[in-house]
């Protein structure tokens, strides 16, 4: 039996921070919440898709809001369980399993904390294989799964149920509520049956996050390159290593939006990379050429430590390495690109297929 314990939680958080493509919220904050929940209630059992009964009720858990707000308004740790209980009451049956909506940042940790609090197993997979900024950007939507009813809760004890005509409408309604409640809420939504997991989730992403975090940790201990260790495990490619020379960032409509400029150093001296983000990194432009786009992963790591750097953590002078890695292939289908391709976010470019350097 596999479990998430205090011993492997940090590796999962580190790996999930990398997979979060700069978004999903600060994994350190989520790790503190998950650590406290595990201390109180014990380890969380992790199950594969084929261990889940076909008629199981699997409830994805996540936080919603601007990651920059999370730095100042830390969750109290009860919001996720409150959202779960509100959803269970509304649908008239208890959850049998918890799942992450995304494997990125804090949103990899909040489901673990909720699973510990609720005494439920967590499914080894998520609905994105990375992090995305909007609620309808999930693979279950490609197989017709609705993200409503959606239960949202805040740190004051307020809970709201949303029923919407479609997944896009649910995002708009939930985002408006999120802004009104201070740009930081928790959500239980996109309920899945056990027999929908293989088609609707990316498998083994909790395991991948743990392996990725461990690879970085072990490379540091061995005094080898932690960024290269992450790149190899992700089958990714190196875009640029350099110094952040400019960051413009604003909180708008419940999102952290902006652009960062990175000037190359070492073998990348003389080159420039620009990163456009909306919570997550969505577009990478090197020397005027678009070299990586959503839905592929654009991951920013601290050059020396290999630790993930979130979009809200970017600052002048930081030495970073930028990697690109392939997304789940379902995201590059016409339906996937319609949900999360670069044109959806307003960029005047088509998806650039992933390629190694």
From 186-190, 207-211, 253-257, the region with the lowest mean pLDDT: 253-257
Token pair 């678009």: residue: 290
Q: At residue 243, does pLDDT exceed 80?
A: yes
- Range from 20-34, 101-115, 167-181, 283-297 carrying the lowest mean pLDDT: 20-34
Tell me the per-residue pLDDT of 213-242, one tens digit each, with 9 for 90 and over: 999 999 999 999 999 999 999 999 999 999
* CATH code 2.40.390.10 region(s) in the chain: 225-340
Q: How far apart are the first and last CA of the chain?
A: 39
Name the pLDDT band for 182 (thresholds 50, 70, 90).
confident
Superfamily of domain 2-203: CV3147-like domain (3.40.1610.10)
CA distances (Å), origin 39, targets 26, 217, 286: 21, 23, 45
Which ranges in the chain are annotated with CATH 3.40.1610.10? 2-203
The CA angle 127-122-160, to the nearest 5 degrees, is 65
- What would the CATH number be for the domain defined by 225-340? 2.40.390.10
pLDDT tens per residue across span 192-214: 999 999 999 999 999 999 999 99
Report the C-alpha gap between 192 and 170 in whole angstroms: 17
pLDDT of amino acid 354: 82
**pLDDT per position as a tens digit, 49-75:** 999 999 999 999 998 876 655 556 666
Confirm whether pTM is higher than 0.85. Answer: yes
Q: What's the mean per-residue pLDDT of the chain? A: 93
């Amino acid at each position: 039996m596999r479990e998430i314990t205090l011993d492997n939680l940090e590796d999962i958080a580190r790996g999930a921070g990398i997979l979060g493509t700069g978004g999903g919220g600060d994994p350190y904050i989520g790790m503190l919440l998950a650590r406290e929940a595990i201390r109180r209630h014990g380890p969380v059992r992790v199950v594969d898709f084929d261990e889940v009964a076909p008629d199981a009720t699997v409830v994805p858990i996540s936080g919603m809001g601007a990651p920059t707000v999370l730095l100042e308004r830390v969750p109290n740790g009860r919001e996720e369980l409150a959202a779960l209980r509100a959803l269970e009451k509304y649908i008239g049956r208890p959850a049998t399993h918890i799942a992450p909506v995304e494997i990125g940042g804090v949103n990899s940790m909040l489901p673990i904390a909720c699973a510990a609090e609720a005494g439920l197993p967590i499914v080894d997979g998520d609905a994105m294989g990375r992090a995305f900024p909007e609620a309808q950007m999930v693979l279950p939507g490609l197989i017709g799964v609705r993200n409503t009813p959606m239960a949202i809760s805040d740190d004051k004890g307020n809970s709201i149920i949303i029923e919407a005509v479609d997944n896009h409408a649910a995002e708009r309604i939930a985002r408006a509520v999120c802004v009104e409640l201070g740009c930081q809420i928790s959500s239980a939504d996109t309920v899945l049956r056990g027999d929908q997991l293989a088609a609707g989730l990316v498998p083994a992403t909790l395991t991948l996050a743990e392996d990725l975090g461990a690879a970085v940790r072990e490379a540091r201990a061995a005094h080898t390159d932690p960024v290269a260790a992450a790149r190899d495990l992700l089958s990714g490619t190196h875009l640029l290593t350099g110094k952040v020379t400019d960051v413009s960032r604003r909180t708008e409509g419940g999102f952290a939006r902006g652009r960062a400029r990175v000037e190359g150093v070492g073998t990348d001296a003389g080159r420039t990379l620009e990163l456009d983000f909306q919570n997550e990194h969505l577009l990478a432009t090197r020397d005027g050429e678009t070299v990586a786009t959503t839905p592929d992963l654009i991951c920013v790591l601290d050059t020396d430590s290999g630790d993930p750097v979130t979009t809200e953590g970017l600052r002048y002078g930081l030495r970073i390495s930028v990697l690109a890695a392939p997304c789940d292939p379902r995201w590059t289908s016409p339906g996937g690109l319609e949900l999360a391709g670069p044109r959806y976010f307003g960029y005047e470019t088509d998806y650039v297929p992933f390629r190694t350097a």
